[in-house]
Amino acid sequence: MAQQMSDLEYLKLNKFQRFGLKFVAFFKAIPGWFKNLGIKIWAFLKRSFWGIVNFFKNLGLTFWYGDWKTKVSYFVMGFGSVMRGQWLRGILFFLFEVIFILYLALFGGHYLGRLYILGTVESTIGDDGTIVYGENSFNILLYGVLSLFFIVAFIYTWYLNIKQNRIGEEYEKAQKKLATASDDVRALVDKDFYKTLLALPTLGILIFTILPIFFMILVAFTNYDKSHFPPQNLFGWVGFDNFGLLLQWGNSEGASFSMTFGQILLWTLVWAFFATFTNYFLGMLVAMLINKKGIKLKKLWRTVLVFSIAIPQFISILFVSNMFAEDGIINGILGAISGGKLFIDFWGEAWIARITVIVINIWIGVPYLMLVVTGILMNIPADLYESANIDGASAWQQYSKITLPYMLFITGPYLLTSFTGNMNNFNVIYLLTGGGPKVQEYYGNAGKTDLLITWLFSLAVNDTNYKLAAVIGIMVFIVVAVLSLVIYNIIPSTRNEEEFQ
C-alpha cells in the first residue's frame, strides 16, 4: 500500500475505499505469503534437520565423554541425578521410565503394534447367542495414538535426563553447586511457577482435546462407518478415499455427497453472516435505546432482556420451536387474528424455515449483544457527541459518523469470533429444526437448515458414518481457519496485547 500511495492520499479516502483497498491489497499479498510460507517451510526443514543432527551428535558426545553415571543414565533414567545429589529429579525421572515401560508392556505396546493395520481378527457370533470378541479397531487406533503421544513425551524426558547429566558434569567440573530438591521446589512456586500452573491445564488439554482431535483426523482416513463398526467389525485405512468423495461431481457415485456438502457449506456461511449481523445491529439498536438520555427504568429494560440469557438454551429454544410448530401457539394466534385465514408452516418450507431460524436467533442473541454494546457505548468519549450536537448533526449522522465506526473498530475481533461461532452454532439449529426440512436430494438425511456442524452430528450419531463426519469436521476446521486468517488481516483492530500493561 505504501508503495502505491502516500499516507496523505490514503487518509483522504472514505472508509469504504479504504476497506476496498485493504481487501485488494490482501489478495495481492497472497502470492507473497505463499512465497514466504515456502521460505519459512524450507528454513524450518533446514532447522529441523540440523536440530536432529545436533540432537544425535549431542547424545553421542555426551555418552562418549560422559562419566559412568551419565552412561548408566542412558538406560536407567535419573541415575546420574540421584548420584549427584538431585534425588528429587532423579526419582521423578526414574518413576517416569518405570511407568512408561509398564504402560508399553502391559497396555500400549499391543495397540501400537497393530496401529498399521487396525486389527485383523473379527468378532464372531454363534447361533447360541454367544460372541467371541475379536480385535477392536477403535481401541487400537485410540490407544495406539495415545502410545505415540507417550513415546514422544518419553523421548523428550529421556533427552532432558541426559541434558541434566551433561549439566551436572559441567557443574562438577566447574565445582559449582547443583540445584537441590528444595531449590527445585522453591523454583516451582517462584521462578518456574508457570510450570506448576500450566501442568494441569495443559495435561487436560493434551488428553481431552488434542488426543481426541488427532484421533478424529485419523478417522477421516479410515472406512469407519456402519459396515465397519467395532467391536463387531473392523475398520481399516483407506487413505484419501473419503476426501475424494468431496471432489466427485456429476453422475458418479458419491456425487450427492459433494453436492450436499457444497449446499450446506453455502447455507452455513449465509446463516453465519445473517446471524452475526442481525444480532449485531439490532443489539446495538436496543442498547442505544436503553442508554438513550431521558429513558427511565434502564435497569428494568436490561434485566428483562438478560432474563433470556439466564435460562438454559435447551429449555427456551425447544419451547420456542414448539411454539412455531405447524399447530403451535404462533399459528394459533395468527389464526385467531385472521379468522383462520393466515397460516404459516414455519418449519415445513426451506426458505421460511431458514428465515425463521434467523429471526428466532435474533431473539436468542440480541440480549447478549446488548450487554456487549452497552459497555462499549459508555466508553465513547461524550465530548464527541457534544461537539456533534453543537454542529447540529442529526441522530443518524451521529450514529454513522461516531458510534458505528467506533463500535466496528473496537468489536472487530469479536465480530470475527461470533461469525465463526455462528458457523458452529449447534444448539440453535439442532433444537429449533433438527436440520429440517429434510429433503431427498441431500445426502445422508440432511435438511435445508442443517449447518455443517449439525449435519456432522447426525451423520455420526444417527448414521454412525464416522468417516464422513470426520471429513466434514476437518473441512469445517479449514473453512474457519482460512476465514479467520483472511479477516484478521483485513480488520483494523488487531491490537498488540502488550499495549495495555
Partner 1 sequence: MNKILKKTLVLLPVALLAGCNFKYTYNISGLVISGGEQEDLDDIEDAGTYDIKVWVDDRIVELTKSQIGQFVAANGGKYTINATIEPVGEEKAASSMLQDVQDGADLFCFAQDQLSRLKVAGALSRLGSGYVNAMQEEMVEGAVDAAKINNEVYAFPITADNGYFLYYDKNFISDEDAKDVSSIIAACTKDPSKPRTFNFEARSSGFYAASYFMATGCYSNWELDDESGKFKSYDDNYDSGNGLIAAKGLKELDKKGVVVSDSHASKLGESAAAVISGIWEYEVNAVKKLDEAGMLGCAALPSFTVDGNSYHLSSFDGYKLLGVKPQVDPKKASVCRKIARFLTSEDCQYERFDKAKWGPANKAASQKEDVQNHKGLKALNEQHQYAKPQGQCPGSWFTALATTAKAVTANSTDAQIQEILANYRAGLPELLDSD
Partner 2 sequence: MATEKHGMSMSKKKKIANTASYIALGLISIIWILPFIFLVLKSFDTGNTGVTRDILPSAWGFDNYSYLFSSDCNFLQWYFNTFIIALFVCVIQTAMQFMMAYTLSRFRFKLRKPLMNIMLVLGMFPGFLTMIVLYQLLKTIGLTGDNAVPGLILVYVASSGMGYYVIKGFLDTLPKSLDEAALVDGANRMQIFIKVILPLCKPILIYTVLTSFMGPWGDFVFAYTVSLGSQAGMNVAAGLNSWLSPANIGAHFTHFCAGGVIVAIPVMVLFMFLQKYYVEGVTGGAVKG
Query: What track of x and - describes contact with partner 2 for positions 122 through 161 (by CB under 8 A)?
Result: ----------------xx--x-------------------
Contacting partner 1 within 406-465 (CB under 8 A): 437-441, 443-445, 461-464
Contacting partner 2 within 457-476 (CB under 8 A): 457, 460, 466, 469-470, 473, 476
Query: What track of x and - describes contact with partner 1 for positions 73 through 112 (by CB under 8 A)?
Result: ----------------------------------------
363 contact choice in partner 2, partner 1, none (CB below 5 to 8 Å, kind-dependent): partner 2
**Cβ closer to partner 2: 232 or 316?**
316
**Residue 301, C-alpha cell as written in the block:** 429494560
Residues 6+ apart with CB under 8 A from 214: 145
* Backbone angles phi and psi of 124, in degrees to 5: -125, 135
Among 234, 264, 432, 456, binds partner 2 (CB under 8 A): 456
Output the CA angle 216-220-224, nearest 5 degrees: 90
How far is Cα of residue 127 from the mean position of the Cα atoms in its chain? 47
**Cβ closer to partner 1: 33 or 133?**
133
Among 48, 196, 397, 400, binds partner 2 (CB under 8 A): 196
Write down the least CB distance from residue 191 to partner 2, Å: 7
Whether residue 287 contacts residue 370, with contact meaning beta carbons closer than 8 Å, is answered with yes
SS3 312: coil
Query: What track of x and - describes contact with partner 1 for positions 250 through 279 (by CB under 8 A)?
Result: ---xx-xx----------------------
Among 16, 64, 396, 500, binds partner 2 (CB under 8 A): 500
Q: How far is residue 366's CA from residue 287's CA, in Å, rounded to a whole number?
A: 9
Q: How far is residue 422's CA from residue 452's CA, in Å, rounded to a whole number?
A: 11
Query: What track of x and - describes contact with partner 2 for positions 223 through 262 (by CB under 8 A)?
Result: ----------------------------------------
Among 131, 213, 266, 355, binds partner 2 (CB under 8 A): 213
**Cβ closer to partner 1: 191 or 341?**
341
Contacting partner 2 within 286-325 (CB under 8 A): 286, 289-290, 292-295, 301-316, 318-320, 322-323, 325
Contacting partner 1 within 305-334 (CB under 8 A): 325-327, 331-332
Q: How far is residue 374's CA from residue 361's CA, in Å, rounded to a whole number?
A: 20
Q: Alpha-carbon torsion 90, 91, 96, 102, what sign?
A: positive
SS3 14: coil
- Residues linked to residue 237 through DSSP beta bridges, in sequence order: 222
DSSP character string of 66-129: S-HHHHHHTTSTTHHHHHTT-HHHHHHHHHHHHHHHHHIIIIIHHHHHHTTTT-----EE-TTS
How far is Cα of residue 239 from the mean position of the Cα atoms in its chain? 24
Q: How far is residue 206's CA from residue 212's CA, in Å, rounded to a whole number?
A: 9
Write down the least CB distance from residue 17 to partner 1, Å: 47
Look up residue 57 and give its amino acid: K
215 near partner 2, judged by CB under 8 A: yes
Among 39-47, 87-95, 244-252, 331-339, the segment contacting partner 2 (CB under 8 A):
331-339
- Residues linked to residue 125 through DSSP beta bridges, in sequence order: 131
Q: Give the DSSP H or E segment for 491.
A: none
Write down the least CB distance from residue 91 to partner 2, Å: 23
Residues 6+ apart with CB under 8 A from 230: 136, 137, 138, 139
Write down the least CB distance from residue 445 to partner 2, Å: 16
Q: How far is residue 102's CA from residue 107's CA, in Å, rounded to a whole number?
A: 8
272 near partner 2, judged by CB under 8 A: no
**Cβ closer to partner 2: 62 or 418?**
418
Site of interaction with partner 1 (CB under 8 A): 123, 125-133, 226-227, 229, 231-233, 253-254, 256-257, 325-327, 331-332, 335, 340-341, 343, 345, 348, 437-441, 443-445, 461-464
